[in-house]
């Protein structure tokens, strides 16, 4: 079960003026399951995105990158689960294009104004005819209050939907910010390994929105790992409808920019942590902090080495303070000239290691309670600078193996 | 159980003139288990080694690197299981030094002529008094025919001992080559993640022996992964006693050099594969071949991405041909400008993917039998050069999680 994941009160998600959502069942993997989401955006919405760095990126990712360059702007998104349309070559691109064209025709837009998203099994042909057939039902369902249904429709192996919502006050004026995301395996960013859609009604230029997105993703979705596998389909989309009247936030010099950036970052961090808490088979949630590094890159490199180690993750699963495995992971992270005699390691508030080995004050009994808890903080100080980074991850359980051994059955 | 691992006939291992081995019980982890190995080498033996690149390398690794520089040559090795003496700081170095000094005194050598090795739990103080107390029994047991007992004494979570032996004919003269190794978790080289000791009675200069070792390790132990975790203690030692009279092989220009190099490489490959076949929880053995790359580095990078992916490994465990996960791993391996439309993927003899997606000739039924088998070949052709690399790995099972969750109990 998800670790300390408060299920979002889906009914309380704030509608974003300028965004309507509708869901439908296309029967891609399971008959009757809502597996198609359509989002319609107000005219002149600004839409920006970041996508997987996987060379085998999915066809919809390629099409998104094309369509985001169109001059008429994005007016609609279509998402399906059950099939990733990845590793599908030219045929996959054709099917993604046909999906966009069909939705555009039904909504009265140009095909280039539609962004497609898919998640599910790789290397199977996308059943786009089924998706197209489900569009009228999704369109009939379009309404601003549908974020909760949308969060549920994009789930795959997720146990819980991920959604968050808040008001943002910018220079005394209230705006809305709402987002949804899905995990929960093949989670290891660069970019984030998931689908996520956030929208605000604030008016923001494309340039400023890009800056907000990149900052926020780097502090949130690009700080999580479940299994170290970078998906073919990762996409994170940030939408500013601008429906609520206000002067446009043009760039990062606008005094409202930091508040917007921080609100988006906080919401994305909440969604990113929710993905880890609901990681496949997760029973523990770990925050891996690395401080005292020369730069953020080396801090993240060490944090990820610890967060990805199967040996560390199985020890946490077993609540076994076999903490030498953390030292081993720090040691093989590949940071040049790391002086291990300056490295300090804490589990919660307990100093575990210093001077190249176990701390003289360390007693295994002191950490057993910490290991038994569902939330664990691991902190490493490198003693060679002022940079820091934090990565969130979960443990490695029998259930992870089971879920992934039986994924397609 | 180990995958297609023929247990070595320990009685048939060939003694190497100039090498005596003795084992004893120090009671480090389990009372009565043979957990200490002593090797005594003939005067003027050449000894070379490669060691872990982990910055938190174990105290014995540091001491080995020091002692290999001594001018009087190496005369003895001492190995213990049950405790890695890693992550133990200055105190760990002191205990490793005291262990060497004690053995040196009992054998009549200098402390610098002894190499220490440890494997087991990290960050626990080495019980060196117990090891020292067990030395007289190990010394009393010293004999050339003891390679089988030695292979068993260095096991940790290994189910089966790893040992191999052969005659090598160099310019018409027969020499012996015998080696032992242990795995079987925290296996991901750079250098190989294990202990291994090989010896020959051929006379080889230090320089030539170094060249043989580096070549052979790169083709064998540095081509395996079990869990992607690089150990703190990896050590591979190659010994040439020179006891059997012949002109010394001075360098790679000697006509006998290639035959010696290839024999060592073959024996190391056999031991390396045995480590994977007996990887923790292994039920499948996979050979991941990558061809058509620009250089060996990028081929290995992709082979390791596939071999390390928990999603790929769990799919193999389940015999589920969810082969899109292999494409995803190829895609995120980080090879710049990889044109996925040129990538071809085979499982056994079945072409699975080409032109960026599933091959039109591919039928899932064709690969089900291949997936069901205990040995699986995965071949990827990158279509951008002539370089190639092969990596061996095993699957990821419930048993892996169980072994590592309960390692210390």
Give the tens place of pLDDT for each residue, A55-98. 888 899 999 999 999 999 999 999 999 999 988 899 999 999 99
Of A89, A91, A318, the CB nearest to B405: A318
* Per-window interface: A 14-53 vs B, CB < 8 A: 52-53
Residue B225 lies in a domain: yes
Mean pLDDT over B266-273 rounds to 91
What is the distance between the terminal CA atoms of chain A, rounded to a whole angstrom?
Answer: 20
Of B92, B325, B407, the CB nearest to A357: B92
Same domain, A365 and A227: no
In the numeric block, the tokens 């770990």 are attached to A286
Domain, as residue range, for B378: 285-405
CB contact under 8 A, B328 and A396: no
Residues with Cβ within 8 Å of B404's Cβ and at least 6 positions away in sequence, in order, are A310, A311, A314, A315, A318, B185, B280
Same domain, B184 and B294: no
What CATH number does residue B92 fall under? 3.60.70.12
Give the pLDDT confidence score for residue A407 in this predicted structure.
61
Q: How many domains does the structure of chain A reveal?
A: 2
Residue A2 lies in a domain: no
Same domain, B356 and B216: no
The reply to whether ipTM tops 0.85 is no
CB contact under 8 A, B123 and A323: yes
Give the pLDDT confidence score for residue B192 in this predicted structure.
32
Residue B278 DSSP label: T
Same domain, A322 and A379: yes
This prediction's pTM: 0.81
Same domain, B17 and B59: yes
pLDDT, chain B, mean: 90
**DSSP 3-state assignment of B197?**
strand
Same domain, A389 and A289: yes
* Per-window interface: A 327-366 vs B, CB < 8 A: 327-333, 335, 338, 340-341, 353, 355-358
Same domain, B150 and B207: yes
Mean pLDDT over B296-319 rounds to 90
Residue B202 lies in a domain: yes
Same domain, B266 and B310: no
Sign of the C-alpha dihedral computed for residues B337, B341, B342 and B348 taken in this order: positive
Same domain, B368 and B242: no
Q: Is the pLDDT of residue A284 over 50?
A: yes
Residue B278 lies in a domain: no
CB contact under 8 A, B55 and A314: no
Q: Does A122 touch chain B (CB under 8 A)?
A: yes
Residue A210 lies in a domain: yes
Q: Are A299 and A349 in contact (CB under 8 A)?
A: no
Residue A3 lies in a domain: no
**DSSP 3-state assignment of B205?**
coil
Q: Are A8 and A163 in contact (CB under 8 A)?
A: yes
Of B222, B242, B271, the last residue of a domain is B271
Same domain, A152 and A270: yes
**What count of CB pairs under 8 Å joins A to B?**
232
Same domain, A40 and A100: yes
Of A248, A277, A306, the last residue of a domain is A277
What CATH number does residue A345 fall under? 3.10.20.340
Q: What is the C-alpha radius of gyration for chain B, rounded to an integer number of angstroms?
A: 22
Catalytic annotation present for B380: no
Of A246, A277, A308, the last residue of a domain is A277
Say which of A52, A81, A193, A393 is annotated catalytic. A193
Q: Is the pLDDT of residue B186 over 70?
A: no
Give the pLDDT confidence score for residue A81 in this predicted structure.
93
Q: Is the pLDDT of residue A227 over 70?
A: no
At A249, the pLDDT band (50, 70, 90 cuts) reads: very high
Q: Does A69 touch chain B (CB under 8 A)?
A: no
For the ranges A32-41, A278-287, B188-197, the maximum mean pLDDT occurs at A32-41
Residue A1 lies in a domain: no
Q: How many C-beta neighbours within 10 Å does residue B70 have?
A: 13
Residue A186 lies in a domain: yes
Say which of B193, B230, B269, B380 is annotated catalytic. B193
Q: Does B187 touch chain A (CB under 8 A)?
A: no
Same domain, A289 and A146: no
Residue A341 with chain B: CB contacts under 8 Å = 89
Residue B371 with chain A: CB contacts under 8 Å = none
Of A308, A317, A324, the CB nearest to B405: A317
- The H or E element that residue B369 is part of is helix B364-372
């Amino acid at each position: 079960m998800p670790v300390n994941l408060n299920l979002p009160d889906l009914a309380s998600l704030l509608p974003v003026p300028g965004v309507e959502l509708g869901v439908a069942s296309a029967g891609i993997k399971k008959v009757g399951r809502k597996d198609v989401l359509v989002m319609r955006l107000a005219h002149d919405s600004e839409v920006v995105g970041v996508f997987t760095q996987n060379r085998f990126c999915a066809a919809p990712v390629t099409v998104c990158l094309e369509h985001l360059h169109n001059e008429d702007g994005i007016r609609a998104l279509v998402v399906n689960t059950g099939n990733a349309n990845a590793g599908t070559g030219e045929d996959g691109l054709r099917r993604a294009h046909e999906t966009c064209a069909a939705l555009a025709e039904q909504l009265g837009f140009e095909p280039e104004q539609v962004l497609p998203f898919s998640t599910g099994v790789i290397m199977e042909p996308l059943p786009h005819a089924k998706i197209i057939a489900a569009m009228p039902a999704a369109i009939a369902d379009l309404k601003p209050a549908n974020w909760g249904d949308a969060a549920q429709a994009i789930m795959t192996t997720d146990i819980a939907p991920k959604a968050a919502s808040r008001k943002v006050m910018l220079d005394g004026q209230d705006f809305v910010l709402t987002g949804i995301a899905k995990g929960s395996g093949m989670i290891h960013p660069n970019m984030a390994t998931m689908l996520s859609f956030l929208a605000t009604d604030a008016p923001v230029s494309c340039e400023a929105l890009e800056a907000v997105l990149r900052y926020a993703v780097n502090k949130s979705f690009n700080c999580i790992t479940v299994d170290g596998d970078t998906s073919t389909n990762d996409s994170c989309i940030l939408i500013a409808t601008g429906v609520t009247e206000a002067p446009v936030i043009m760039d990062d010099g606008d005094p409202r920019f930091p508040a917007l950036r921080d609100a988006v970052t906080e919401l994305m961090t909440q969604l990113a942590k929710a993905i880890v808490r609901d990681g496949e088979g997760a029973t523990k949630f770990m925050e891996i902090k690395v401080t005292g590094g020369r730069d953020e890159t080396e801090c993240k490199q060490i944090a990820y080495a610890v967060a990805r180690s199967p040996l560390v993750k199985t020890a946490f699963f077993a609540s076994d303070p076999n903490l030498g495995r953390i030292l081993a992971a720090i040691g093989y992270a590949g940071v040049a000239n790391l002086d291990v005699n300056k490295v300090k390691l804490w589990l919660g508030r307990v100093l575990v290691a210093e001077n190249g080995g176990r701390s003289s004050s360390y007693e295994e009994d002191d950490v057993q309670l910490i290991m038994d808890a569902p939330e664990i903080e691991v902190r490493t100080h490198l003693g060679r600078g002022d940079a820091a980074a934090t990565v969130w991850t979960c443990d490695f359980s029998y259930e992870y193996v089971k879920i992934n051994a039986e994924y397609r059955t």
